[in-house]
Amino acid sequence: MSKSVVVLGILMMLLASSLGAQEAQFDVKQFTLDNGMNFLVVERPTAPVFSGFIIVGVGSANERTGNIGSAHLLEHMMFKGSKLVGTTDWDAEQDLWAKEDSVWARIDMARRQTRYVALNNPEKLDAHLKFIESLETILDSLAEASSQYVIQNEFDRIYTRNGAAQFNATTGYDFTNYFVSLPSNRLELWFLMESDRLKHPAMREFFPERDVVAEERRQSVENSSDLKLFEQLIGTAFISHPYQIFWEWRSEETNLTRDDLMTFFNTYYIPQNMAVAVVGDVKLDDVRKFAEKYFGDIPRGKDFEPIYTEEIEQTGERRVDLHYESSPAVNISYHGTAFDSPDEPVFQVIQRLIGDGRTSRLYKSLVLDKQLCVDVSVDVFPGNEMGDLYPGVMNIYAYPRDEVTTIDVEAAIYEELHKLATVPVDSLELTKIKNNIDAAMIWSAYDNLGLASYLASTQALTKDWKYLYKLRDKLKAVTPEDIMRVASQYLADEKRTVATLIPLENGGDNE
């Protein structure tokens, strides 16, 4: 690779507007395959690498009781390989999986019957439990049998051997993201690997992987004071909308089956429901050629019904406590808007105003001036950068100083929110926010993966990557009056949900 660092300006910066503001412009090429799969390409030959980012328009909000955890476990299973990767005999595996599944279904049924056997025929309980055990032994031996065809973790190994970085995936509420960065001469490898797992997902090593996601929940939620509290907050803030489930429950995910996942996959992993971004040292023509070759033969899927369930109106303040072995904390939520609501840009400006940086309203007041908190921060849930598919919540997280009560912390927060609704924001403060909006967009292009994620997620959410310009213009048009109106409407006392962590003393020794 030549010293092209200096010469190749990929982003054209326009020294625009009388204020001297700098606005980002992205040189994005776009094409759509006949099956509806959309591709965004930024040719940026700075270093001989590229990032590939695939977004599927599905997440945990698409689950219902009975298949909760499908989106996340499916994302895990996508790393198990495909038809071409990770197996010595794809057909033999399919047969064994079918057998495993039928045994599992019987175990499942028998386990659910246990309580009725215990209740109505206690004398048969022992035999019943032995029966379950014998089925489990059969399941184990079937798993053992299928393992002989498995080339373990080969999907990871192939990428790893080829120098992959940032290889991962994330499951959100509306979107699931798959991404990796590779040396640029591996472009075709990426297309082959990704297309094969999106055509032939491998449900191999299914049962241990279900245990892995259960362990992930224990680690990330059950033994984390922050997320344990947040789960209570979200579960209380939402009554009817599927956003109410912050993280899949263990009782649900440990009962998922391969069929559950394949149904989910067949419904949502369809080409017209995917957006792809490729950023780096690549050529549009190559990307297009490989896209046709590897993704072109996936048939367009049947459109699915969007979520129509709406959150019911909140009728007063809601409160929930968590008694836990940890220091005090308080989380406060307010219902917000979906990305396409006219109030959404105002909401985003409010979020920055109260939560962005040391000069933000809350940090300045609670940490620096009144010294009530160790830290305070603000975010939006689910929290897509361009806004969320359905109305989410804005959350305030506050960590009180030693011997400060959460009551005093709450009072100081509400004082700031009331001020927002009653006193116009001065123009200097609003200009600060707008400067940061421009700068964030410029910095978003600093590395390949960041830009790929930014573009693909905008495309997936709005079906138009250029929406990021439209949103920027809307954000910059927000007025002090807009802020007062939206603050008084959405951030009213009776619209809030409050979750409080109340410390338990250390020493819960269960011996």
Beta strands 318-324 and 496-503: pairing type?
parallel
Of residues 334, 326, 339, 329, the one with CA closest to residue 354: 334
Q: Which residues pair with 179 in a beta bridge?
A: 53, 168
In the complex, the smallest distance separating the C-beta of residue 311 from other proteins, rounded to whole angstroms, is 31
Structure tokens at 9: 């300006």
- CB-based contact 322:406 (threshold 8 Å): no
| Dist CA 91 CA 256 (whole Å) | 23
Residues 392-431 that bind other proteins (CB under 8 A): 399, 401-402, 428, 431
Question: What is the rounded distance in angstroms from the CA atom of residue 398 to the CA atom of residue 380?
Answer: 15
Nearer to other proteins, 341 or 431 (CB): 431
Rounded to a whole number of angstroms, the distance between the first and last alpha carbons of the chain is 63
Residues 127-186, interacting with other proteins (CB under 8 A): 147, 152-154, 156-158, 160-166, 181, 183-186
- Site for other proteins (CB under 8 A): which residue of 5, 16, 239, 411? 5
Of residues 231, 253, 447, 482, which one binds other proteins by CB under 8 A? 447
8 A C-beta contact, residue 483 and residue 425: yes
- Smaller CB separation from other proteins, 6 or 119: 6
Contact 227, 331 (CB under 8 A): no
Q: 448 to 467, contacts with other proteins by CB under 8 A?
A: 448
Residue 377, interface with other proteins (CB under 8 A)? no
DSSP 20-88: --EE-----EEEE-TTS-EEEEEE-TTSSEEEEEEEES--GGG--TTSTTHHHHHHHHGGG--SSSSBS
Which of 101, 136, 216, 252 lies at the binding interface for other proteins (CB under 8 A)? 216
Rg of the Cα atoms in the chain:
26
48 binds other proteins (CB under 8 A): yes
Q: Which of 138, 284, 307, 442 binds other proteins (CB under 8 A)?
A: 442
Is the CB of 32 or the CB of 168 nearer to other proteins? Answer: 168
**Stretch 276-305 residues interacting with other proteins (CB under 8 A):** none
Q: Residue 160 or residue 309: which is nearer to other proteins going by CB? A: 160
**For residues 322-361, which are near other proteins according to CB under 8 A?**
325-327, 356-359
Query: Interface residues for other proteins in 224-243 (CB under 8 A)?
Result: 224-225
Which residue type occupies 382? P
Residue 101 interacts with other proteins (CB under 8 A)? Answer: no
Looking only at residues 65 through 94 of this chain, which bind other proteins when binding is defined by CB under 8 A? 79, 84-85
| Binding of residue 244 to other proteins (CB under 8 A) | no
Between 23 and 101, name the residue whose CB sits nearer to other proteins: 23
CB 64, min distance to other proteins, A: 25
